[in-house]
Structures are given as structure tokens and as C-alpha cells.
Amino acid sequence: MPSEHQPILFTREETTKPIVAIVGCGFGGLQAAMHLVRHDIELVMIDRTNHHLFQPLLYQVSTAALAPSDIASPVRSLVGKHRNVSVIFGDVDGVDVAARKLCVRDTGTIDYDYLVVATGSAYTWFGHDEWAEHAAVLKTLPDALEIRRRVLEAFDWAESRDDKEEITALTTFVVVGAGPTGVELSGSLAELARATLKAEYRHIDPSKARIMLVDAAPRILGEFPEALSAYAKQALEHLGVEVRLNAKCERIDGRGIVIGGERIEAANVFWAAGTRAQPAAQWLGARAAKNNAVEVTEECSVPGHPEIFAIGDVSAFKTADGKTLPALAPVAKQQGAYVAKVIASRLGRRKHPGPFKYTNLGTMAVIGRSHAIALLAGMKLKGRLAWLAWSLVHLLLLIGFRNRLIVFTNWAYAFFTYGRGSRLVVGRPKRVVGGDFLTDPEELLNPAAPQAAE
């Protein structure tokens, strides 16, 4: 808990209206806010970033197909115009449940009457946190830009090398985890290397880059029917992706990865193998599921605390058949809208909506620029038709007409030309991850500089 001398940002003494605090401005938090702004309350939104991110298209930023601004919008531009909304930039590090106070690190405390926790999830390393030093993840815009930098600089560094083994390592990319993120990232990487970059280098051939997708499971996209999973694997292999299944990751270090006893020299390893909820359960003193998510009631509230709600990836909601809802954007959005209705009913503004019931609108995954699989209303789609459905759904889910127009334009341009317009790397060159493959860039740029004393 923060120290007692920290300032109080928002108190009950300042208003006669109920205070609703929302932690996290992702799909669930933003949906809840958009439904609550119409009521006579004080709404306080807290997030560690100033933007709402459309995560399903994050992999396209990491592979230079889209720019960050194409898939993100400032939170203030979405809800800040409402006079009953306060947007606080900060990192929540605790909740005083008894006093109903939210603690924001280095900032202060916020009183609340109702609290909605929508803090999402982070990647888990399955007990090997040391791997995080060498492998990149894909959860935020900085993550996507870092992957983009690593990929583009790997090819640029390889262009100036003369050692074949070094070139091979620099142009080997391993994606760990064959869920939707891993599949989409590896497919997009393959198209970037084999189509966009193919004709732009003179001393290396980017089309010969080794793109690997590995997973300990027996098939990719395990949440889909086996036939669709098999089609996705075939489509990836057609793009040139090497799919390795039943292959457990045993080690990741500065020179590559060990999979099923085999060492693969790779300058870039990308991790998409598993997620774990942010530590909200510890803040609340609530019971947590295996993935650290908060176990909630049929109202999405924390047991014993009907004024506190957990939604989206940070919650573990069990359906009537005992299954836990997946960590998907549609789940978070539906829970956000539902919780807003529950809070409104508590304030006497509407009838109680009853227990939360998730409407499964389907699941999708895209493989490259013209292949996808989809499970919609019991229908199994694959190929171009599934890709068109995926494109339409994602365009409609994007917030703002400008973003939709820009993304559609970029997709159309890429479809006909294989071009990718967001390939700038700003700043001085850095070591490629797994920097053992390269001399320090400072030495390359200034070879006459004296060596620092050890």
C-alpha cells in the first residue's frame, strides 16, 4: 500500500454523486465506461497508458503492415469530453477494500463506491522468468515496435555480415506458442520476408529466412476443430513457415533456443505461449484461479464484495457447464456492458439484467493476407471466405472512422502490392536480441573508439 502522506486525488467529500472507478482501458473497461457515462455519476478511469489499444491487430504493427496510430486511440478522445469523466494516468498497485480506496503508484489514492477491475493479462514464462531477457512478447504497442525493430534490423545487420552461420542466425525467427497470436505473427513474418523484402537486399536473400512456429501441443490453434487446425497448418507451411509440434521449449538464451533437445541458433525468439492475469487477486485478497485470474460470481463481482467487479482477462468466470470463459475481446466487451447495467441497477436507474450470459459470436484466426479460419454460429469457414469475414469483423470492431479507413486502405495496398508502409526504425542501431551474434553497434559505427576498461 502507498504511504499515508500521499495525496488523495478523488474523495467522496468532493461530490454527492456515486464514484465508479475503472482500472484498465482495454475492451472491457472502455465498454463499461461508454455505458456508464450517461448516468449521473463520477466516473474515474485509470490506466498505465493514455490509449485504448486494438490488440487483435497488434501483430500487424510488429510486422510493419500498420502504424501504431492505426490501431490505438487516446482514451481522452473517446470519453474525456464527458464532464463526469476523469482520466488518470498511472499504475494501480493496491486496493484498500475496507476503506474503498484505490492506490495509484507515485500519484495518490482514489475513493470509490464501485470498482471495475479490467487490467488484462501478461505473458507467463512457466517458471522460467530468465527467458524474458532474451525473448520478445507481443502485448503492448512498445512490444510491437520492439519486435518490428528487431526484425528489420536483423535483416539490415545480416546484409553487412560475411559469415554464413551468423547470417543464418540473424535471419532465423522462432515464434513460441501456436495460438492465434503465434500463428498470425509467424504468417505475417513469412510474408514480410518472402514478398515485401525479397527484392530489396543485394547480399542476402530474405526469402530464405527461416520462420519457425513451435508448440508443445500436438496441433496448432487447439481451440478450433481439428479440420480447421489442419488447414491453418497447411496454409502456414505454404507460406514457408516451419511448424514444429510436440516440441517443448527447454531453454532460451542470447544465442537462440533449445526445443525438444535440439539447439537452434536464432537472433530473434518471440514468445506467445501463455498468459497470466495481472495481480488484481492479490490487491483484492480474492480467490484466484490457476492463471491468477480473479474468481467471480454470476454478476462478475468478487465474492463477498458486490461493489467490486472483475472482467475480461483478469477474471475467471465459470459458465453453467463449469467451463471458464476464454480470454477474448468479445468476452471482455460483453462483460463490460453487463457490469455497467448491474451498477446502474444498483443505483436505481434500471432493472437488474440477471446473471451474466456470454453470447459466443465465433472465433477467428488469420494466416497471411488471404487465408483464415473461422467458427461462426456453428459454421466452419476457411480460405478466402473466412479471410473476408475476419477482415470485416475487425474493421467494424476498430474504434473510429479514421482508423477503419486507414486500415482498410493499408490492407488493400498490401493485398495488391505486398507493400508495407510502416518500416521505419527510428534511432541509432541496437544489438539484435541475442547480441552475442554481433559486435557492439557503437564499435561498428566508431571502430577507432578505445575499449572501456573492464
Which amino acid appears at position 448 of this protein? A
Q: Please state, in angstroms and rounded to a whole number, the distance separating the CA atoms of residues 9 and 222.
A: 46
Q: How many Cβ atoms sit within 10 Å of the Cβ of residue 388?
A: 14
Max intra-chain CA distance, the chain: 75
Cell 469483423 belongs to residue: 393
Which amino acid appears at position 66 of this protein? L
Helix (H) or strand (E) holding 282: helix 280-284
Question: What is the SS3 assignment for 435?
Answer: helix
Q: Please state, in angstroms and rounded to a whole number, the distance separating the CA atoms of residues 117 and 76.
A: 19
Provide the sign of the torsion angle of the four alpha carbons 90, 93, 96, 97, taken in this order: positive
DSSP tag of 53: E
Q: Where are the alpha helices (H) located in 43-107, listed in sequence order? A: 58-62, 75-79
Q: Is residue 184 annotated as part of the catalytic site, yes or no? A: yes
Cell of 356: 451474466
For residues 175 and 182, is the Cβ–Cβ distance under 8 A? yes
Q: Please state, in angstroms and rounded to a whole number, the distance separating the CA atoms of residues 142 and 148.
A: 10
Q: Please state, in angstroms and rounded to a whole number, the distance separating the CA atoms of residues 144 and 48.
A: 17
Cell of 215: 508448440
Cell 485470474 belongs to residue: 293
**Catalytic residue (one of 42, 184, 191, 299):** 184
The residues carrying an active-site annotation are 184
